[in-house]
Structure 1
Amino acid sequence: MYKNVIVKKPGKSYVKGLTTSDLGTPIYEKALEQHAAYVEALKKCGVSVTYLPANEDFPDSTFVEDTAVLTPEFAVISNPGTASRNGETGEIETTLQKFYGKFHYIKMPGTLDGGDILQVEDHFYIGISDRTNEEGARQLKDILESEGYKGTIVPLKEFFHLKTGISYLGKELIVAAGEFLDHPEFQQYEKITVPPEEQYSANCIRVNDYVIIPKGYEETKRQINNAGFETIELEMSEFQKQDGGLSCLSLRF
């Protein structure tokens, strides 16, 4: 059960943030509306939301997930894989000090984005991507194993972040798309198969009694509902334009 969530308001500079997509420039007012709906959905899930103000110096800082990896016992402050995002971690660490007394850190030359980390119970899967390098992945694996968790490094072939293509819903059930459908590291799990045309919906988040999913992906929604979960659908167009998904917008613990 999650008790707390940290989110951060998108700044006006958000529209000039990093992206690999060709979906166009985000509409700022619409992004604010979608972010507000996201926050309301989280509240419906029964968590306490810490809402951080916008920071115009960091256009991508609404994607708070990339700045830390959280467990019940400790926090790991990441080292984002793009230099322009390195300054985001200070505010997040300060915020997390209200909840955690124990911290670890990913240090150069290691880089790591939280979007590359998937937790399945006590097992963390660590993606190597354009943002998370081998050294950063190794550092996190060593930290986790020193604290009694398991860590597995998973080099990516097609997805931007690990969690772009895979999510965990609990009870050994994953939502998977693309390269993760037949990936040997995930064969032991029950699987909801995301069709190619709905690939974006593979990034969904279970928050207590609900699964929050992007709106407009009916086959994925049907499968999640059939698995016994109640869903909340949210418009995500303005975050998809900046390579963002549902998990990217919050730290959940």
Structure 2
Amino acid sequence: MSAFHYNFAIICRVPNSLKNRSVGSDNYPNGVDVEKARQEYETIREVLKNCDINIIELVEDESYPDCCFVDDTAVVIGNTALIARPGHSSRQGEVGEIRKVLKGDLRMNVVEIGNAKATLDGGDVLFTGKEIFVGVGKRTNEAGAQAVAEAFPEYAVSKVNFGNCEALHLKDVFNMAGRNVMAVAPGPDVQAVLQQMQDVANYPYHVMQMDSRLATDMLYVNGHLIHHVRQEMGNKSYGTLDEKILWPRHHVQLTELAKVGGSIGSQAILITRTRHPKRIISNIQDEDLGYFTMWKRSES
């Protein structure tokens, strides 16, 4: 099974407490329109179903206002799930239910972070299908990035300094739009991080430059690209997708959830689960491999 092919997604319903207790709600004195946020969430859930994904839907927990942004709670690649340790203390309790589902229901190989000083948000971990980039900065520290490298030794893992970027998470400004296509947000701070990534990358990628951060928010899954509607992306970035993306696309509206830092990718933990996980096949070819990689493929 190749990278970016998933058969399960863990998602979580929007709690009422998102309105005025979520991490980003301080910027909105009148709170968030929870009903509108739920409509946006339901649209993403249906789009994921249309991409041939089985949905595991968790009940919202009012004790954790940001629980619907599940991507920050775990990093899942292949049959391994690394339980994250979110950098904001109010979110660290969210991992309990996620751990239960990954370990008990899906029977994944669950890895815990050993270093008590480590912090790690899943939103800072970008898997390109060939290697992993970890943004070290606001929510993820060096120890958290090291935990990613230890959990996924079969991939090259590169740390990039994300502290000077205005965005909160790496995947707020970088996302995969296809197997070798990386969507990049504008701004000199983002370009500085991109230069770091290009310096340490083990593989080349096509860079698709977008003209806003919102336009960069997308999710590539099972050969489909999920992205924002035209009025949120803007005509220029939407036109870029029309020109360059040849695979099926789905557009969603995310105005309300975006107010408190929500993104399309933050709404789901995507999982590749097979009966024989050791036989998962990478889409990396022999000519892609270098001496610096730690890639190990089992014999068929």
TM-score, normalization by structure 1:
0.92
Cα displacement (A) at 1:110: 0.1
2:268 is equivalent to residue 250 of structure 1: yes
Q: How does 1:124-139 map to 2 (within 5 A)?
A: 124-139=132-147
Amino acid across the alignment from 2:121: D
Larger gyration radius, structure 1 or structure 2: 2
Cα displacement (A) at 1:230: 2.6
2:120 is equivalent to residue 92 of structure 1: no
Alpha-carbon RMSD? 1.7
Secondary structure of 1:7's match? Answer: strand
Cα displacement (A) at 1:46: 1.1
Q: Partner of 1:209 in structure 2?
A: 223
Secondary structure of 1:12's match? Answer: coil
Amino acid across the alignment from 2:152: L
Q: Distance in 2 between matches of 1:167 and 1:128?
A: 16
Q: Distance in 2 between matches of 1:84 and 1:112?
A: 14
Secondary structure of 1:135's match? Answer: helix
The answer to whether the 8 Å contact 2:132/2:156 transfers is: yes
Q: Structure 2: give runs of 5+ residues left out of the alignment.
A: 199-203, 272-300
Q: Partner of 1:104 in structure 2?
A: 111
Q: Which moved further from structure 2: 182-191 or 232-241?
A: 182-191
Cα distance per residue 1:80-107 (max 9 Å; x no partner): 1111111110100111122233111124
Cα displacement (A) at 1:224: 2.2
Cα gap change, 1:7 to 1:21, in 2 (>3 Å): same
Percent identical among aligned pairs is 25
Cα displacement (A) at 1:138: 1.7
Amino acid across the alignment from 1:103: V
The answer to whether the 8 Å contact 2:12/2:57 transfers is: yes
Secondary structure of 2:17's match? Answer: helix
Q: How does 1:17-36 map to 2 (within 5 A)?
A: 17-19=22-24, 22=27, 25-36=31-42
The answer to whether the 8 Å contact 1:64/1:251 transfers is: yes
Match 2:252 to one of 213, 234, 237: 234
Match 1:221 to one of 238, 242, 245: 238
Cα displacement (A) at 1:69: 0.3
The answer to whether the 8 Å contact 1:14/1:28 transfers is: yes
Q: Structure 1: give runs of 5+ residues left out of the alignment.
A: none
2:64 is equivalent to residue 53 of structure 1: no
